[in-house]
Amino acid sequence: MPRFKPDLRESEATPEGIYLRRREFLRLGAAGAIGAATSAFPIPALAGPDDPAGEVLPVARKADMAGGEKPTPWKSVTTYNNFYEFGTDKADPAQRAGGLRTRPWTLAVDGEVKRPLTLGIEEILKLSPLEERVYRFRCVEAWSMVVPWVGFPLAGLVKRAEPTSRARFVVFQTLLDPAQMPGQRSRILEWPYTEALRIDEAVNPLTLLAVGLYGRVLPAQNGAPLRVITPWKYGFKGAKSIVRMRFVEEQPRTTWAVMAPTEYGFYGNVNPAVDHPRWSQGKERRLGEFLRRDTLPFNGYGAEVAGLYAGLDPRKLY
Amino acid sequence: MKRWLKPAAVAVLLLPIGKMGWDAATGGLGANPVEAVQNRLGFWTIVLLALSLVPTPAGELLGLAWPQRLRRVLGVTAFAYALLHFLFYVGVDKFFDWPTISRDLTRRPFLMVGFAALLCLAPLAVTSTDGWLRRLGYRRWKLLHRLVYLAAALAVVHFAWRVKADMRRPLLFAGIFAALLALRIPGWVRAARRGRRNA
């Protein structure tokens, strides 16, 4: 539908806080350039066990979209995970995801599309230039981190499949294989894990199909080989280890919304005004920090996404 | 009487605290140390609550006397862990955020039942001394201390509401408490018979 389009989107305008600190940013930029020049020649002897590991991905460009905040250390991001396919303790995925075979891997794109696709992971990696995006990541459990994801906007893949006019939602399905995913041997959740986005959410420029972390191939415990990242939503909305994307007309049943409908809504948008029935969502603990900080509406990405929900009851946006 | 039994028990029961201190110093608490300590304190509270219910049936069914001498230590330590669990929530996890804490304790059943369990245990810890046993008289003291069953039930509900989907551990503790309660039935039956004979 045609809409009025200003030549500058709200999200493209420099926030006042950054404008006021522009000199500091220039200094940081210079420091960053020196840092980048040095990191082009990494010295292996300096890489400790807590440093990023794994195959290096070719990253075409980088964008900091977390307000200049320092990313959460690699070790925390890769040892503190909710990935019930490998166990329900935060430490389980890092310990038990070693058996996940991420090569070869195929993704089926089907449903209400003109061009159903079956793509191998190698093809997917070549669909678009890879970008690094540093995003805030907020879990529904009121903890958060800052993560340098590597991936590309999901919109490209959606367009390639050419959804029909009936397609209103896209459903993501995680691998179902109890042999590789020991957590699936217990019926803790309805397997396979299923999540979904509205089409307009899926093609929002913020929505990422992530294949890496810290410039490296995504570790198994973080959802290898590819997962969805929607930084304005709680983490559970980002399906991991995806094998299928299905376009549908009706709002689908999603895993957590089925499991506990009073606790997890379909949208899963970060919303400090709507508490989880068991705890407050008003504040969050950033991993590595002692004091909780205020949770921001849409996790601080309101400028980019609030328009998607115009006319919707804000109380429903959780 | 083995004089080392109680001090040894106290030392063993404090080991989890020592382990937390060690892990805190060496990075063994993981990426979210506050949550880790909070969970561990809650876990040990429920373990100690279960252990405090072992001496009575152990004496009645197996004729073991030494566990009875540890009953008070186990009960008081269970309360100490419960109190630490609560104080840690107030002073560290929420860092004295009173508006949030008061909402938690008045509107969220998950936290209300946990707090209720602590309130059940407090008078038991206070009246655990010989002096209080004398003052109350054994009959009333015993009646009061049956609150521990309610505390155990509330603790299990609190644990079950804490987890998001994986009920295996809360159910395990529910089973343990149910078994410990069932093991007391022969003792109750005997006591009831004795009571009737004496009447």
Q: Do A279 and B166 touch (CB under 8 A)?
A: no
CA distances from A132 to A31, A64, A65, A150, A207 (A): 19, 8, 10, 4, 13
Q: Do the Cβ atoms of A183 and A89 come closer than 8 Å?
A: no
Closest-CA residue of chain A to B160 = A278
A262–chain B Cβ distance below 8 A for any pair: no
HEC string of chain B?
A: CCCCHHHHHHHHHCHHHHHHHHHHHHCCCCCCHHHHHHHHHHHHHHHHHHHHCCHHHHHHHHCCCHHHHHHHHHHHHHHHHHHHHHHHHHHHHCCCCHHHHHHHHHHCHHHHHHHHHHHHHHHHHHCCCHHHHHHHCHHHHHHHHCHHHHHHHHHHHHHHHHCCCCCHHHHHHHHHHHHHHHCCHHHHHHHHHHHHHHC
Nearest one of B163, B138, B145 to B76, comparing CA atoms: B145
Query: What pLDDT score does A290 carry?
Result: 93
Whether B100 sits inside 8 A of A291 (CB atoms) is: no
Average predicted confidence (pLDDT) for chain B: 94
Nearest CB among B32, B110, B111 relative to A80 is that of B32
Q: Tell me which of 3.40.30.10, 3.90.420.10, 3.30.390.50, 3.40.50.720 is the CATH number of domain A10-317.
A: 3.90.420.10
Tokens at residue B184, please? 């007391």
CB-based contact A178:A150 (threshold 8 Å) = no
CB pair distance less than 8 Å for B161 and A278:
yes
Q: Inform me whether the C-beta atom of residue A49 falls under 8 Å from chain B C-beta atoms.
A: no
Partner B contacted by A193 (CB < 8 A)? no
| Among A287, A291, A294, A295, the residue to mutate for chain B (most B Cβ within 10 A) | A287
Which residues of chain B make contact with A91, given a CB cutoff of 8 A? 30
Residue entry with tokens 């990253």: A59
* Structural domain boundaries in chain A: 10-317
- Cross-chain Cβ contact B94/A292 below 8 Å: yes
Which residue, A43, A85, A76, is CA-closest to A191?
A85
A197, β-bridge pairs: A170
Task: Read off the tokens for B145.
Answer: 């201390």
Residue of B30, B111, B168 with shortest CB distance to A80: B30
> Quick one: closest CA in A to B94, which residue?
A292
Report, as an integer, the average pLDDT of B7-27. 95
What's residue A166's pLDDT? 97
Concatenating the DSSP letter of every residue in chain A gives ------SS-GGGSPPHHHHHTHHHHHHHHHHHHHHHHHHTS--GGG--TTS--SPBP---EEEE-STTPPPPPHHHHHHS---GGG-SSTTHHHHHGGG---SS-EEEEEESBSS-EEEEHHHHHTSS--EEEEEEEE-TTSEEEEEEEEEEEHHHHHHHH-B-TT--EEEEEE---TTT-GGGGS-SS-SSPEEEEEHHHHTSTT-EEEEEETTEEPPGGGTSS-EEE-TTB-GGGS--SEEEEEEESSPPP-HHHHH-TTT--SS-B--TTS-BTTB--SEEEETT-SS-EEPPGGGGTHHHHGGGGTTS-GGG--
CB-based contact, A291 to chain B, within 8 Å: yes
3-state SS of A240-259 is: CCEEEEEEECCCCCCHHHHH
Contact A80, B31 (CB under 8 A): yes
* B102-128 pLDDT per residue, tens: 999 999 999 999 999 999 999 999 999
Domains of chain B in sequence order = 2-198 (1.20.120)
Structure confidence at residue B125 (pLDDT): 97
- Taking 80 as the threshold, does the pLDDT of residue B148 lie above it? yes
Average pLDDT on B179-199 reads 86
Q: How many Cβ contacts (< 8 angstroms) between chains A and B?
A: 58
- Among all chains, which residue has been given the structure tokens 């199909």? A209
Tell me the per-residue pLDDT of A26-37, one tens digit each, with 9 for 90 and over: 444 444 444 444
Q: Is A285 on the interface with B (CB under 8 A)?
A: yes
A88/B163 touch (CB, cutoff 8 Å), yes or no: yes
B31:A75 CB<8 A: yes
Nearest to B108 among A141, A260, A277 (CB): A277
CB contact (8 A) between residue B166 and residue A84: yes
Q: Is A274 on the interface with B (CB under 8 A)?
A: no
Residue type, A35: G
Q: B108: distance to nearest CA of chain A, Å?
A: 6
**Residue showing tokens 């979904």:** A196
> What pLDDT shows up at residue B1?
56
Counting as low any pLDDT under 70, the low residues of chain A are 1-47, 317-318
Nearest to A291 among B95, B104, B163 (CB): B95
A86 to chain B nearest CA, in Å? 12
- Using a CB-CB distance cutoff of 8 angstroms, which residues of chain A are in contact with residue B35? 143, 285
pLDDT digits (tens, 9 = 90+) for B65-74: 999 999 999 9
C-alpha A41, offset from chain centre = 29
Residue of chain A whose alpha carbon sits nearest to that of B39: A89
Position B165 scores a pLDDT of 86
- Per-residue model confidence (pLDDT) at position A21: 52
In angstroms, rounded to a whole number, what is the distance separating the alpha carbons of residues A195 and A240? 9
The tokens for A265 are: 């809504």
CA atoms within 13 A on the CB side of B142: 5
Q: Rounded to an integer, what distance in angstroms lies between the CA atom of residue A62 and that of residue A54? A: 19
DSSP A142-161: SEEEEEEEEEEEHHHHHHHH
- Chain A contact set for B38 (CB, 8 A): none
Q: Looking at the partner chain, which of B32, B100, B109 has a beta carbon nearest the beta carbon of A287?
A: B32
* pLDDT of amino acid A62: 96
Q: Please tell me whether the peptide bond between A225 and the residue prior to it is cis, using omega within 30 degrees of 0.
A: yes
CA pair distance A97, A222, nearest whole angstrom: 9
**C-beta neighbour count of A48 within 10 angstroms:** 7
ipTM at complex level: 0.88
B interface residues, A as partner, C-beta within 8 Å: 30-32, 34-35, 94-95, 97, 100, 103-104, 108-111, 161-166, 168
pLDDT of residue A35: 44
Contacts A188 to B, Cβ<8 Å:
165-166
d(CA B24, CA B33): 7
Closest Cα in chain B to A141: B164
- What pLDDT score was predicted for residue A31? 44
Q: Which residues of A touch B108 (CB under 8 A)?
A: 277-279
